[in-house]
Amino acid sequence: MPLFSRESALGLHPLSRMQQTRAHVYHLFENTFFKTFLPGLLIKKKYAAFLRLRQGDRSALQLISKLEEIQQRSLPCDYEHIKRLCSQLDDQVHNLVESLTTYNPIRYALLHNYHRKYAFYMRLALLEDQPSVDPPYTLSLDTPQSEELVGGKAATLSRLHASKDLPVPEGFSITTRAFHLYLKKNRLREMIAERLAELGPDNLEAVHQISPEIQDRIYEGELPKELIASVEANLESHGFKGSSLALRSSAVGEDLQASFAGQFTSLIDIPSHNWPEAFRQILASKYSPHALLYRIGQGMSEGMTPMAVIVMPFIRSRVSGILYTRGQEAPWSASLFMVSGTGEDLAGGSGFEASATFDRSSGALSVSGKASLLDETLIREIFDLGDSLDRLFGQGQDVEWVVDDGGKIHIVQSRPLRFSSKASQRQAQHGREAELFTGQWVSSGQASGPVFRLAPSQSPAAVPHGAVLVTEELPPALTLALPKVTAIVAERGSPACHLASVAREAGIPVLCNAPQARDLQPGQYISLDSDQGQVLEGIHFPSQDSAPDPFRRRSTLLSQRLESALTSVSPLHLRDPDSDDFSIKACRSLHDIVRFVHESGVREMFSLVGRRGLDALGAKRFLTGLPLVMHVLDVHKGLSSESRSAKSVNTEHLRSKPMRHLLAGLGSPAVEWDPAILHYDWDAYSKSSASFVNVEKSTMFSSYAILAEEYLHALLRFGYHFVVVDTVLCPEAEQNYIHFSFKGGGGDTEQRTYRVQLITHILEHFQYAIHRASDLVEASFDRCSQEDTAQNLHVLGIVLGKTVLLDMRLQDEAQVHALASTIITKIHDLLPVQDRA
Amino acid sequence: MSTILVLDDVMDAGIMIKRILERKGHSVNVFTEEQDALDHVGSHGVDIAILDIKLKKISGVEVLKEIKKSSPQTEIIMLTGYPTLETAREALSLGAREYLVKPIDKAELESKIQAILQDRESS
């Protein structure tokens, strides 16, 4: 009894019992009292919800598309940006569900629980560990420490310390806990997250504004007392007080997962009492533009890379340098580069004064450059130390060393040696000369195959295996063709449609907005490189190569998290609105909820006005110039502003785009109205006792239209026929639809069936999807371009005028076919309709 | 086949889970009282415990702690209508295998149980 208990297997009911009762009563009141006495108000309210719903639908699909694109193309962006997109999606879906519950708070209440469930899973998948601000704030490096607490560089140094025979300077670490404490005490965490969230894939250059804002706040921050006390105690116990220090960055991830070489600041020759400034400066270096971009490029988050600082005595060096314990091509060959002094220039990219190579297998040493810089014994000693480090870590090392004035060697840093990987194998082996044209990315991949053109009227089942499908748009129906095609190119379309999501899920490369695809010849061999946006002549990616490359995706923790989050976002299970599974309980992702809300909203609008029609309040008489009785209710910019106080309006006042197109069809010369016959609801009129009513002015038997600039809901009563048209016409194809239903009232069953057959034949020719039940026909034309939708509204107007006014008795099916062909030909003559068959 | 315990202050939810999992051949006991559930774990031992978070006296996370103390090999699935990132973080750090949110989805529940049992077999 979910209606009476607060909680059930479906979770907590979104409405309390009191709220449910109140909502129920109000809903009934609204839909009886308002519908009877103030229908205009109710319709305006529902239309406002519908507008919000359409906007929400568009935004939600765009957000889903952005997230999928980041994942599929491994686009660089800050993790905070991904979290922000997910949070925005959560809000959009919440608003969508709210808008839908405006129509019926009880029917759709449970959708809140499904939204909460999948939005929660999404957030849980992205969740990072809560940083701890508890001590220790400092740790001595003479015992092995964890990277989590002291960062990569210090963790390595503490390991070197533990191996007693290595000459490593003693020192301590100001831990990552101290970093977290510093951010928390100065209320910087939220501010930093907020700013980093701006670093989306298209906005990485904003790093130059964001970086100084964050750095300034760090410089201005106050040092927590407990941190000062801890550092001062360590300076004392290590005997560093009053001496000169070296402070080095040691971020988590630095050196071990990625090199971060040169990304962060290290400072030398710092008087011990100046440590606070040096500490702040190193913390701030985490937010330099290049360090931020490097971290993002490595697929790491802010939260994964907290900063620790190493405090060591400053060693006055006579010579300093870098040692590579292995060569890229010759692992037995170690090499050494050196300069006199502190070695900052060497690390900073300037040249070296001398170099040496050591062949570990033969023991041969060769020195070049300024040989007097360091004598051979010391050079051999450094190579020996390198060998120990190489063996200790079991891999090649990149070692920073110094030789002090007394000729003693010190190792100040050792990190895993990295060689630049060879250029990605995937880089296409095609030049620009093969490019036919370009398009917009929809789904990643590379594939080749013969062109197959699918006309909008053709079933996707007709697509042969292995083809590159070329279409005008990307309607959801193409999902059926996905298992067979190697790639899709569309003349129009967008990356934010349902098909785009499904294609990405299936790993099929897709490009859209490629008008030149029109010129492709059936059977012509072409290739797609969708990340490059290219369509190429010929076969560049034979089928064995076009299989998704498992190494292509950068498999970082963050991309795994995003992938996991997307399992609650992307998959579309609700595909067929007519199936029984198209229900709240079948929603398994936020995408499903978005789809469900949109379809349900459209259905709610379609059933906006019942058979009895709308009361006169707010409606104006509409003089169409045709022999029909009609009233209109403007809900949003459907009529010009001058008509506001007018009791009747004409076509010149009309601003509603869909109404103009429908009316153009109704008024087409093909229709041939008989001016002597006035059309209103004859059936209702004859059954009513209102024979004194002026049928031209009264709303009782009139047709109605609810108008907005991009929306039309028309209820047309032509003689004995009853027609509903509900349509959106706007620049975005994804939003457009025409839903139409016709119930033939006049004549016997046979006549009504023939009439329905006639309408079906004609509308099918113009690519409407048709559902028929006895004498009821429902047709829809969904998610097509503004031009095509406008044209099909015009066609619908002609068909309505033509078939409704049909006074001829239809004898048999052959005659229905013949008449359908005649009407189709006539429409083609009158319209610049391209014959797509 | 495995032994599964369900603790939910709403009998409705427990019965629904029982029905789903018994059809898969598991032996399922449903409780609405925390102590009864803990006693059952103590005396019979269970393979998997499915715990609601909002219970009558103590929170499901507390029950999770108790079960992990007395029967560490029992795998725990949290199942709640009141999800929060804090309780999720806490439950997962205390050793819960899954943190699921109501409405209960039959396929989801079945697949999570199956994954746990497969892991047990292979280990």
Compute the average pLDDT of residues A312-333.
Answer: 87
d(CA A382, CA A372): 16
Residue B86 or A431, more confident:
B86
| Complex prediction ipTM | 0.96
Contact A763, A793 (CB under 8 A): no
Q: Which residues of A touch B103 (CB under 8 A)?
A: 9-11, 110, 113-114, 117, 585
d(CA A741, CA A759): 11
In terms of phi and psi (left: phi > 0; alpha: psi -120 to 50; beta: otherwise), the region of A269 is left
Lowest mean pLDDT among A13-22, A209-218, A313-322, A449-458: A13-22
Q: Six-digit token pair at A32?
A: 């009886």
Residue B36 or A574, more confident:
B36
CATH number of B25's domain: 3.40.50.2300
Compute the average pLDDT of residues A545-554.
Answer: 37
Given CB atoms, is A127 within the 8 Å cutoff of chain B? Answer: yes
pLDDT digits (tens, 9 = 90+) for A718-763: 777 778 898 999 998 888 999 988 876 666 777 878 888 899 999 9
DSSP string, A231-295: HHHHHHHTT-TTSEEEEEEEETTBTTTB--TTTS-EEEEEEGGGHHHHHHHHHHHTTSHHHHHHH
Q: Which residues of A touch B88 (CB under 8 A)?
A: 124, 127
| Residue A120 buriedness (CB in 10 A; 0-12 / 13-18 / 19+) | buried
Q: Taking the model in full, what pTM does it have?
A: 0.75
Q: Which residues of A touch B10 (CB under 8 A)?
A: 5, 7-9
Q: Which residues of A touch B85 (CB under 8 A)?
A: 123-124, 127
pLDDT of A548 strictly over 80: no
pLDDT digits (tens, 9 = 90+) for A104-123: 888 999 999 999 999 999 99
Vertex A545: Cα angle to A543 and A549 (nearest 5): 130
Q: CB distance B99–A588 less than 8 Å? A: no
Q: Six-digit token pair at A702?
A: 């009139």
Dihedral angle sign, alpha carbons of residues A469, A68, A299, A290: positive
Residue A149, classed as helix, strand or coil, is helix
What confidence score (pLDDT) does residue A324 get?
87
Mean pLDDT of chain A: 84
Quote the number of domains for chain B. 1
Beta carbons within 8 Å of A733's beta carbon, 6+ residues apart: A473, A492, A493, A494, A497, A783, A784, A785, A786, A789
Angstroms from A575 CA to nearest CA on chain B: 19
Contact A659, A714 (CB under 8 A): yes
Given CB atoms, is A437 within the 8 Å cutoff of chain B? Answer: no
Compute the average pLDDT of residues A648-674.
Answer: 91
* Cis, peptide link before residue A167, omega less than 30° from 0: no
pLDDT digits (tens, 9 = 90+) for A519-538: 999 999 999 998 888 999 99
Kindly state the helix (H) or strand (E) to which residue A468 belongs, with its residue range: strand A468-471
- SS3 string, A319-387, reads EEEEEECCCCCCCCEEEEEEEECCCHHHHCCCCCCEEEEEECCCCCEEEEECHHHCCHHHHHHHHHHHH
| AA identity, residue A22 | R
- SS3 string, A598-610, reads HHHHHHHHHCCCC
User: pLDDT > 70: what percent of chain A?
Assistant: 85
Q: CB distance B102–A588 less than 8 Å? A: no
Q: Which residues of B touch A120 (CB under 8 A)?
A: 83, 101
Beta carbons within 8 Å of B56's beta carbon, 6+ residues apart: B9, B32, B33, B34
What confidence score (pLDDT) does residue A427 get?
43
What confidence score (pLDDT) does residue A549 get?
34
Of A11, A130, A588, the CB nearest to B81: A11
Compute the average pLDDT of residues A477-483.
Answer: 72
pLDDT of B114 strictly over 90: yes
Given CB atoms, is A128 within the 8 Å cutoff of chain B? Answer: no
Q: Which residues of B touch A9 (CB under 8 A)?
A: 10, 12-13, 16-17, 102-104
Determine the residue among B82, B85, B102, B106 to mutate to test chain A binding: the one whose Cβ has the most chain A Cβ atoms within 10 Å: B102
Dihedral angle sign, alpha carbons of residues A388, A393, A394, A399: negative
Residue A108 or A499, more confident:
A108
Beta carbons within 8 Å of A93's beta carbon, 6+ residues apart: A56, A60, A115, A119, A590, A593, A594
Minimal CA–CA distance to A50: which of A476, A635, A498, A592?
A635
d(CA A656, CA A664): 12
Range of the domain at B78: 3-122
pLDDT of A35 strictly over 70: no
pLDDT of A707 strictly over 60: yes
| AA identity, residue A351 | G
Q: Which residues of B touch A124 (CB under 8 A)?
A: 83, 85, 88, 99
Kindly state the helix (H) or strand (E) to which residue A103 belongs, with its residue range: helix A79-103
Kindly state the helix (H) or strand (E) to which residue A666 belongs, with its residue range: helix A657-666
d(CA B39, CA B42): 5
Q: Six-digit token pair at A827?
A: 């429409």
Minimal CA–CA distance to A553: which of A424, A442, A420?
A424
Chain A stretch 560-599, residues whose beta carbon is closer than 8 A to a beta carbon of chain B: 585, 588
Contact A397, A389 (CB under 8 A): yes
Q: What is the number of alpha carbons within 13 Å of residue B100 lying toward its C-beta?
A: 26
Residue A676 or A713, more confident:
A713
What confidence score (pLDDT) does residue A1 get?
35
Rg value, chain A, Cα: 36
Look up tokens 């629980």; give the residue: A113
pLDDT digits (tens, 9 = 90+) for A768-820: 998 877 667 889 998 899 999 999 999 999 998 887 666 667 788 898 999 99
Contact A48, A55 (CB under 8 A): no
pLDDT of B108 strictly over 60: yes
pLDDT of A835 strictly over 70: no
Contact B106, A125 (CB under 8 A): no
**A vs B: CB pairs below 8 A:** 52
pLDDT of A5 strictly over 90: no
Minimal CA–CA distance to B18: which of B1, B6, B2, B3?
B6
- Reduced to 3 DSSP states, what percent helix, strand and coil does chain A have, rounded to the nearest 5? 40, 20, 40
pLDDT of A195 strictly over 80: yes
Residue A490, classed as helix, strand or coil, is strand
Lowest mean pLDDT among A206-220, A250-264, A674-688, A704-718: A674-688
Chain B stretch 63-122, residues whose beta carbon is closer than 8 A to a beta carbon of chain A: 81-83, 85, 88-89, 99, 101-105
Q: Six-digit token pair at A98?
A: 């709210």
d(CA A711, CA A636): 9
Residue A420's pLDDT band, with cuts at 50, 70 and 90, is very low
Q: Six-digit token pair at A318?
A: 């006579």
What confidence score (pLDDT) does residue A345 get?
59
Residue A628's pLDDT band, with cuts at 50, 70 and 90, is confident
Kindly state the helix (H) or strand (E) to which residue B49 belongs, with its residue range: strand B48-51
What confidence score (pLDDT) does residue A350 get?
53
pLDDT of A655 strictly over 60: yes
Residue A661 or A674, more confident:
A661
